[in-house]
Structure 1
Amino acid sequence: MSSADLHDTMIQSASPAGPVIILVQPQLAENIGMTARAMANFGLSELRLVAPKNGWPKKGVREAASGATHVLDGASVHATLAEAIADLHYVLATTARERGQMKRVLAPDAAMRDVVARAGQRTGILFGRERAGLDNDEVSFADAIVTFPVDARFSSLNLAQGVLLMSYEWRRAAGLSVLPFTGEMLSPPATREAMGSLFATLEDSLGSAGFYPPEKRDIIARNMRDMLHRMAMTEQDVRTMRGALRALTLRRPRRNTSGQP
């Protein structure tokens, strides 16, 4: 096992158990596949389907999953919602509509903090049909409701989008949302000596090109030094800039600024 594989294994073994994603009567194979993809993006893996419209889909689901086949391979199909959640201790129901039921209503971030805090418990999140969502009886199985702070003028979410949002918030709440790269500087900051050498090269090149009005040379030179300092240049930046200046100088004959023929 490589060191990278070992590192990934250690992270997975230390990660809290994620919630089960439960789709109630999903209608489209593509949505099931995209749900699997959304789950895999953020480290969730257990998918359950309740009475999918046409049974387990045979076409389109794996293509839509875009490689998240481990989620699909481990998915289970259940005849009823009660069967699908029988082994769970805590269940959330997602809905965009007021249900008039005496349940806590949580935003996704608060809901996933609650899930993460329930260490040792099996948790699940219910998602309803693409067109109609969950019915009131199905919502009554849940301990709390999760709704999204969407624009009231267009509150409809695609099934996989809803799963993606919840999966993302779970990963954040679980402390696993580490960016895959940082964009940090690979070259150290330029030293004052390197900057001074760049200024000298730049000012000499501009002087040879006749850039400076004689009475404003010092002012312009200071302004350009200030500008380059604001860029917080690295050693590599300075080398690149000096190389560019050398290339321009070598390709251009030096201008005679002495006034002599």
Structure 2
Amino acid sequence: MTGRDGGADLAPIGNSPVVILVRPQLAENVGAVARAMANGGLFHLRLVKPRDGWPQERAWRSASGADRILDAASVHEDVDGAVADLHHVFATCPRPRHIVKPVLTARGGAAELRAITGRGLGCGILFGPERAGLDNDDMARADALIRYPLNPGFMSLNLAQAVMIMAYEWWMADDGTPPRTLMTNESHIANKGELENFIRHLTAELDECGFLRNEQKRPGMVRNLRHLFERGEVTQQELRTLHGVVTELALGRKIRGRDETS
């Protein structure tokens, strides 16, 4: 069941961790996992003894175009076979167990996975069956456990959600997207000279209309106006609009003044 038409052109990027689903129960969940993997740049999927066998058409219907991940997925009889060629293995663990191992958050685990793959070593992440999760024998094969710090009153995740959290953290561990940006569309942030030009325009018209007639308060009022425009990233388009507003207000005042004297 390979080479399906219409699938996304997914190309593995470097050395990424293997996602290992241990005894998955529903084909739809496997497909949803492939979709989550593709979102976060994980491309290698292994299945350990899927309940209903493999392949299953329903998985491809749930993958939303991540077909190639499913096409390349390998099936193994046990966890030992699935991890035999890997150097490091982590296991997701939703509940406390009587096991002595390092426990990482998803973010901490992703950072270690990046360091491991950066050295050219193979690594994988074990995810357990939908109902019960990994058992103690499964986790015994892992170097460390990964637990998600979620609401302790409700920590229930479906399989694809659990994979999505790790995929997201894996991606973000090497992503350079600024945490905050300002969308300016086709405009640009105004520079200090453009801001100063507008403030001079505004101040001149405020002087003309008498708004700044109190000489004692005038410096503080002008500073307050300056602070207002300086603390935000005003765009050039916004400044052009404000210039137009000030000009039209001044023009309207002058027209009213002529009408009153005529």
TM-score by length of 1: 0.76
2:148 maps to: 148
Per-residue CA deviation, residues 190-231 of structure 1 (Å, 9 max, x unaligned), is: 415522453157538x93xxx959769974963445433444
Relative to 1, partners in 2 of residues 1:260 and 1:247: Cα closer, same or farther, differing over 3 Å? closer
Rounded to whole Å, the distance in 2 between the matches of 1:245 and 1:89 is 68
1:3 maps to: none
2:170 maps to: 170
Structure 2 counterpart of 1:179, one-letter code: T
Matches of residues 83-162 of structure 1 in structure 2 within 5 Å? 83-118=81-116, 119-162=119-162
Helix, strand or coil at the partner of 2:126 = strand
What are structure 2's unaligned runs of at least 5 residues? 1-10
How far 1:120 sits from its partner (Å)?
A: 2.4
Relative to 1, partners in 2 of residues 1:164 and 1:34: Cα closer, same or farther, differing over 3 Å? same
Rounded to whole Å, the distance in 1 between the matches of 2:238 and 2:245 is 11
Relative to 1, partners in 2 of residues 1:178 and 1:67: Cα closer, same or farther, differing over 3 Å? farther
2:35 maps to: 37
TM-score by length of 2: 0.75
Relative to 1, partners in 2 of residues 1:259 and 1:215: Cα closer, same or farther, differing over 3 Å? farther
Q: Which of 182, 195, 198 is the equivalent residue of 1:195? A: 198
How far 1:72 sits from its partner (Å)?
A: 1.9
Per-residue CA deviation, residues 41-85 of structure 1 (Å, 9 max, x unaligned), is: 2211001111222222212x3343222222222212223222222
The count of residues paired between Structure 1 and Structure 2 equals: 242
Alpha-carbon RMSD = 3.5
Rounded to whole Å, the distance in 2 between the matches of 1:114 and 1:195 is 51
1:6 maps to: none
Per-residue CA deviation, residues 135-171 of structure 1 (Å, 9 max, x unaligned), is: 2222222222221222221122221121122222323
Rounded to whole Å, the distance in 2 between the matches of 1:245 and 1:198 is 8
Matches of residues 70-89 of structure 1 in structure 2 within 5 Å? 70-89=68-87
Rounded to whole Å, the distance in 2 between the matches of 1:75 and 1:188 is 52
Structure 2 counterpart of 1:238, one-letter code: L
What are structure 1's unaligned runs of at least 5 residues? 1-8
Rounded to whole Å, the distance in 1 between the matches of 2:190 and 2:228 is 19
1:255 maps to: 256
- Whether the aligned pair in 2 keeps the contact of 1:194 and 1:235 (CA below 8 Å) is no
Q: Which of 3, 25, 29 is the equivalent residue of 1:27? A: 25
How far 1:248 sits from its partner (Å)?
A: 6.4
2:56 maps to: 57
Matches of residues 206-245 of structure 1 in structure 2 within 5 Å? 207=209, 212=211, 219=218, 222=222, 223-245=224-246
Per-residue CA deviation, residues 105-156 of structure 1 (Å, 9 max, x unaligned), is: 2222332333333322211110011111112222222222221222221122
Helix, strand or coil at the partner of 1:138 = helix
